[in-house]
Amino acid sequence: MNRKRARAALGLLLLLAAVGVEAQSDEAGYGRIVDAVVARYHLPGIAVGVIENGRIVYAATRGETVAGSGQPITPRTLFKIASNSKAMTTALLGRLVDEGKLAWDDPVTKYLPDFRMHDPWVTKNMRVADLLTHASGLPEGGGDLMLWPEPNAFTRQDIIHGLRYIEPGYSFRSQYQYDNLLYVVAGEVAAAAGGAPYETLMHREVFAPLGLSRCQVGSWSRDAVGDVAQPHYRKDGRNLPMREDGPTIPAITSAAAGGIRCDLTDMLSWAQNWLAPTPDQLKWLSSTQRQVLQSPHMLIPVSDQRRAWDHTHVMAYGYGWRMADVDGEWVVWHTGTLGGMYSMLALLPDRRSGFVFLINGEAEDARTVLGEVLTKHFTAPHDPHGVAWYADALDHQAAQRPVAARPPDASAATAVAPAAFPWSGRYRDPWFGEILLCPRGARVQWAALKSPRMHGTVRQLGSRYLVQWDDPAVDLDAWLDPHPGSPPTLAMTKLDPLGDFSSDYEDLHFERVGDCP
């Protein structure tokens, strides 16, 4: 056994000993499932754990923290859990409710007097609970460009102020549209009610009492903590690291929505707390609040795929959790997606069973397939479909995507000469702030003042302009549509019409405010 494999094996044995794994023979074949997914999607690294009847029966890791580094993923490797952070945020709020410091029906303005939504009536009637169910009226992913790409200069106060300028996409409490900004607001509500910063409360009220000793939020030292996975993207058949951490991981604005990092060991402990809580854990968070968090509060439309694959009739959102009937069984789960890292935590409460996995690569389809196959192990153990079948089904769906819903081929786009571009200047959006659309040598550059990684070149494709970001790992390329007027305005839309909703260019409304410096 080489040194790399020896370190990984030692780490896994320590995890198994620490959590008392019941069955190490993997009779259920979890290892074959994981290996098949890793091979199909060429994942740089993954950590997987499975719980059956309250006991951890499988825990394994594959790959490296950085592709080609020789540093193996271990059970103690930290991953960005992204939106799986939301359930930790709502648990923190539940603790404050148990302590009488907060009520779910309290108006948000009780804790944040400067909070405003676009509609004054919504502002007045927005409860703490409304921050958590994705039914506020914000368009899907509305304002996410204030959170990502990181690092940027947007603060939580910027988000609270900017919300009033984001136009609603639907009426208050009428439908589900996923957002992140209101979870940031929820973190600030917790800070106001709890009398300490969100990060302090998370360490004190969640991590410490549950023994999640490796979970991190706020600012911390990469080298002092150690064993940190880095995100990757795939290019030319290779996994390449992106947005790598520096020596100090800074506190980030998005923490309450998606900024926590944990390892496999702690995520399994977190899952056990929900599936088979100890008496001390029931003192930590009451049965009443546990039920509130994982009860349906807002219906989610059921997709054709979910109906066909899972026979799902009802899907809903609780507080930081999704839930649905899958093959006649109730499943509670959430996923996490954050620039080169994907995660999933799923619970089957009636069985006291579930699973968690963490991936440090571009892995949307891999997450879908692995989550489906692991879920079927419990809900439909005789399902004949395995990893290859579900992966092929996703490939077939992608191939059937209508031409109108596919991004255009931008390889023929040409850089726009400054002399041929009459729209140069300083532009401002009321929530995103200022951008510069200005000549830089022989090209025109788009650059955001508060989001320094968002800078790119203006090009022309056919009769339209587009912005291609200088760093391909930063964001989705975007159409740029100038409109004459007094003053001139700019609109933007995703080049890929089905691209990630966090690239919410459609919510931007730029007006020209001055000349280029």
H helices present in 146-284, as ranges: 156-162, 181-194, 198-202, 208-210, 222-225, 255-258, 264-275, 279-284
Question: Token pair 């023929």 is at which residue?
Answer: 412
Residue 449 · residue 461 · CB < 8 Å: no
Per-residue confidence (pLDDT) for residue 456, from 0 to 100: 97
Residue 1 is predicted with a pLDDT of: 46
Strand order in 342-348's β-sheet?
A: 55-63, 45-52, 353-359, 342-348, 329-337, 322-326, 315-317, 298-299
Helix (H) or strand (E) holding 287: helix 287-293
Query: What is the rounded distance in angstroms from the CA atom of residue 237 to the CA atom of residue 203?
Result: 40
Which residues make beta-bridge pairs with 55?
Answer: 52
Distance between CA atoms of 180 and 195, rounded to whole angstroms? 23
Give the tens place of pLDDT for each residue, 478-491.
Answer: 999 999 999 999 99
pLDDT at 12 over 60: no
Q: Looking at the DSSP assignment, which residues form a beta bridge with residue 345?
A: 334, 356
Please write the tens of the pLDDT for every residue from 17-49. 444 343 356 878 999 999 999 999 999 999 999
Question: Cβ neighbours of residue 100 under 8 Å, at least 6 residues apart?
Answer: none
Segment 55-71 shows an average pLDDT of 98
Residue 268: pLDDT over 60:
yes
Instruction: Say how far apart CA 427 and CA 400 lie, in whole Å.
Output: 39
The pLDDT score that the predictor gives to residue 35 is 98
Q: What per-residue string of b and e applies to 109-126 under the rule 16 or more CB within 10 Å gives b?
A: eebbeebbbebeebbeeb
Q: pLDDT value at position 10?
A: 52
Note the pLDDT tens digit of each residue in 399-436: 998 887 889 999 999 999 999 999 999 999 999 999 99
Q: What is the pLDDT of residue 18?
A: 43
Determine phi and psi for 496, rounding to 5 degrees: -95, 110
Beta bridge pairs of residue 493: 479
pLDDT of residue 25: 61
What pLDDT digit, counting tens, does each position of 96-142 carry?
999 999 999 999 999 999 999 999 999 999 999 999 999 999 999 99
Q: pTM score, two decimals?
A: 0.94
| 137-164 tens-digit pLDDT | 999 999 999 999 988 999 999 999 999 9
Residue type, 407: P
**DSSP code, position 288:** H
**Residues of the chain above pLDDT 70, percent:** 95
Predicted confidence (pLDDT) per residue in 348-366, tens digit: 999 999 999 999 999 999 9
Q: Which of 334, 309, 335, 313 is nearest to 324 (CA)?
A: 313
Confidence of residue 2 (pLDDT cuts 50, 70, 90): low
Distance CA 360, CA 298 (A): 31
Widest Cα–Cα separation across the chain:
72
